[in-house]
């Protein structure tokens, strides 16, 4: 980097504690040995990861650095942080450099960029998709010594083959991986020795992230119908926990059967309303995880039935549809957003305060990413204000307790924790999610039919509150012989209005028909906009119309317009939809 002035790091009150400490760790690291070429830094959400990436070229005395993001959105944000004309320009805003000359940024972005741009740059920003494959045109144009530092943002992705191409093409470049989580969705740990990590507990203590607590739904007893569809069984709490840990079908039924799914939605709604009442902040929201597209729509329908404004994003949705949902979220026109790991890295909405778990998390990485959505502090508010509290809600039968316990350990993590984590990677990781295809008719999953006396058990993420006043209060109570036991809240059951319930079911039926039509086209390799099935209309419209016609033939009440369907009509048609679609498929495939 051809910048003569030295950055102001030590004693710079505009920088965060982990940024300064990580800078020092990088500056002190000896990259000269081949096995020390690649290192990693773990920083929780909200602790200045993008700022550290801007500082790293100075710490390593880089001449030209490549900064690689996992997607376009993050790459664009990183470039803005490094662009002198941007109002939030990092080096000036944080007092790192007193004035020009500043590091020269450039981006690799398709035909808009040429090699001359990169030759004049100090830091080149791009997303990994621009540099994939070893026959990539950009890699072919750049010599192996072009970069002496490669920085991977969201470095837990770095074990992927597409990232390894860069390591090989620039063999002498030092490599820095920075991430909030050291593991990928498949359980693999990011490469490189972790030379610095900042515990979540410390981040809470400093007010960099929200204070997170968990609430586990514990039914005193639970009723479910076995796979044979004939026998209803009543089991106590401990058996619910055991079945969730050992039976994949059971835990899947916990998050998808209406009786149990409803209680997760009710509990998250209850906690959201409590936070709103306590803080007076009505923009707080719920983020919910789901298994697949159909499940997304089921969860959305349940929240709407409970009177909340809900919508979803999904990778199979049109980008414009997802953008519309994001806009509604940003404009505070939603109370709930449901996702199947679609939000991706780079998503930032501090008003998400309740994380409702309707999916299966088999290992720590994806769970941390999901909970990370509610960890960002709300700007311009005191870090220890109640508005900066976050809540995670999950069902005891969903087998989330294990990853919650792992998360507690991670919250206090030090270097020895990560060393142990890396040692344990020889163990085959648990799958992140259950299969999401249609249910097998010869092996149906159990169905939860009822739950009795559901309690919400409060779980702390860290052992001591970060709020000094709370710590003092606890010390006074202990001095009087009063110790805190486990706290339980009664789940407040909700009776939705019949109108809300019918409207939500009708909307769900509409959405499930669209999903079924899209699935038919995918399975038959047909394009949505093609006209293979009916020359007068597009394939998607033709399939949807065929399903709608079959539905109209089966409406129990005889109603001819969907707006007139009763709640019972919708229940029956949703239950019969797989058979309806099967009949339509046979007709269309003739």
- Residue-wise pLDDT for 102-143, tens only, equals 999 999 988 888 999 999 999 999 998 888 766 678 888 899
Domain ranges of the chain: 17-198, 208-490, 498-588
Q: Is domain 17-198 classified as CATH 3.40.50.300?
A: yes
Among the listed ranges 239-248, 332-341, 464-473, which one has the minimum average pLDDT value? Answer: 464-473
Cα 306 to Cα 256: distance, rounded to the nearest angstrom: 17
pLDDT (0 to 100) of residue 3: 63
Region 164-181: mean pLDDT is 89
Cα 312 to Cα 8: distance, rounded to the nearest angstrom: 44
Region 181-185: mean pLDDT is 65
Q: What is the largest CA-CA distance in the chain?
A: 81
DSSP summary character for residue 429 = P
Residues paired with residue 176 on neighbouring β-strands, in sequence order: 39, 151
Give the pLDDT band (50/70/90) at residue 412: confident
Residue 197: pLDDT above 50? yes
- Residue-wise pLDDT for 485-539, tens only, equals 567 888 888 888 899 999 999 999 999 999 899 888 888 888 888 988 888 999 8
Cα 137 to Cα 132: distance, rounded to the nearest angstrom: 10
Region 275-289: mean pLDDT is 96
Assigned token pair, 377:
């502090």
- Residue-wise pLDDT for 417-445, tens only, equals 444 443 333 222 233 333 343 343 346 78
Give the pLDDT band (50/70/90) at residue 395: very high
Report the chain's C-alpha Rg in angstroms. 26
* pTM for this predicted structure: 0.82
Quick one: CA dihedral 560, 565, 571, 574, positive or negative? Answer: positive
Q: Which CATH class is domain 208-490?
A: alpha beta
Considering only residues 341 and 516, tell me which one the structure prediction assigns the higher pLDDT. 516
User: Are 17-198 and 208-490 equal in CATH topology?
Assistant: yes
- Residue-wise pLDDT for 292-312, tens only, equals 989 999 999 999 999 999 999
Report the phi/psi class of residue 93: left, alpha or beta, with left for phi > 0 and alpha for psi in -120 to 50: alpha
Helix axes 498-523 and 567-588, enclosed angle (nearest 10): 10
Cα 272 to Cα 374: distance, rounded to the nearest angstrom: 12
**DSSP character string of 213-247:** EEEEEEEEEEEEE-TTSS-EEEEEHHHHHHHHHH-
Percent of the chain with pLDDT over 70: 84
Cα 162 to Cα 557: distance, rounded to the nearest angstrom: 56
Considering only residues 362 and 333, tell me which one the structure prediction assigns the higher pLDDT. 333
């Amino acid at each position: 980097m051809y910048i003569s002035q030295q950055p102001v790091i030590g004693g710079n009150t505009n920088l965060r504690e982990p940024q300064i400490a990580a800078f020092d760790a990088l500056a002190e690291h000896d990259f000269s040995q081949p096995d020390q070429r690649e290192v990693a830094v773990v920083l929780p959400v909200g602790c200045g990861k993008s700022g550290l990436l801007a500082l790293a070229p100075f710490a390593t005395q880089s001449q030209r650095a490549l900064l690689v993001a996992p997607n376009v959105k993050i790459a664009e944000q990183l470039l803005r942080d490094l662009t002198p004309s941007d109002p939030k320009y990092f080096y000036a805003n944080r007092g790192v450099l007193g004035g020009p000359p500043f590091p020269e940024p450039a981006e690799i972005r398709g035909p808009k960029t040429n090699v001359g741009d990169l030759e004049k740059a100090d830091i080149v920003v791009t997303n990994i998709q621009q540099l994939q494959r070893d026959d990539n045109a950009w890699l072919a144009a750049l010599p192996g010594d072009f970069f002496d530092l490669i920085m991977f943002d969201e470095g837990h992705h770095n074990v992927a083959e597409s990232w390894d191409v860069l390591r090989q093409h620039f063999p002498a470049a030092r490599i820095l991986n920075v991430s909030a989580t050291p593991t990928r969705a498949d359980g693999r740990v990011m490469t490189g020795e972790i030379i610095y990590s900042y515990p979540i507990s410390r981040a809470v203590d400093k007010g960099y992230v929200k204070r997170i607590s968990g609430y586990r739904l514990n039914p005193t007893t639970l009723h479910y119908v076995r796979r044979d569809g004939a026998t209803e069984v009543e089991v106590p709490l401990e058996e619910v926990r055991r079945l969730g840990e050992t039976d994949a079908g059971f835990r899947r039924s916990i998050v998808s059967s209406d009786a149990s799914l409803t209680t997760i939605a009710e509990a998250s709604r209850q906690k959201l309303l409590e936070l709103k009442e306590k803080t007076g902040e009505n923009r707080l929201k719920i983020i919910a995880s789901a298994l697949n597209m159909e499940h997304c729509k089921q969860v959305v329908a349940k929240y709407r039935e409970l009177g909340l404004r809900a919508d979803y994003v999904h990778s199979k949705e049109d980008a414009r549809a997802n953008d519309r949902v994001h806009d509604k979220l940003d404009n505070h026109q939603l109370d709930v957003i449901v996702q199947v790991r679609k939000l991706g890295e780079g998503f930032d909405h501090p008003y998400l305060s309740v994380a409702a778990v309707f999916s299966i998390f088999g290992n720590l990485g994806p769970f941390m990413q999901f909970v990370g959505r509610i960890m960002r502090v709300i700007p311009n508010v005191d870090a220890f204000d109640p508005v900066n509290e976050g809540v995670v809600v999950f069902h005891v039968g969903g087998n989330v307790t294990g990853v919650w316990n792992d998360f507690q350990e991670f919250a206090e993590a030090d270097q020895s924790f990560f060393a142990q984590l890396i040692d344990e990677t020889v163990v085959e990781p648990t799958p992140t999610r259950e299969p999401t295809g249609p249910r097998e008719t010869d092996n149906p999953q159990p169905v939860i039919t009822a739950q009795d006396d559901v309690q919400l058990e409060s779980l702390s993420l860290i052992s001591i509150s970060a709020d000094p006043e709370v710590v003092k209060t606890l010390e006074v109570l202990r001095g009087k012989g009063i110790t805190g036991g486990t706290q339980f809240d009664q789940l407040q059951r909700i009776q939705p209005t019949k109108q809300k319930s019918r409207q939500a079911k009708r909307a769900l039926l509409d959405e499930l028909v669209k999903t079924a039509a899209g699935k038919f086209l995918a399975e038959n390799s047909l394009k949505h906009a093609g006209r293979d099935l009916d020359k007068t209309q597009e394939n998607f419209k033709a399939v949807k119309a065929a399903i709608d016609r079959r539905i109209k033939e089966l409406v129990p009440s005889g109603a001819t317009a969907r707006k007139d369907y009763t709640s019972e009509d919708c229940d029956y048609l949703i239950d019969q939809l797989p058979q309806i679609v099967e009949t339509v498929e046979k007709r269309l495939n003739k």
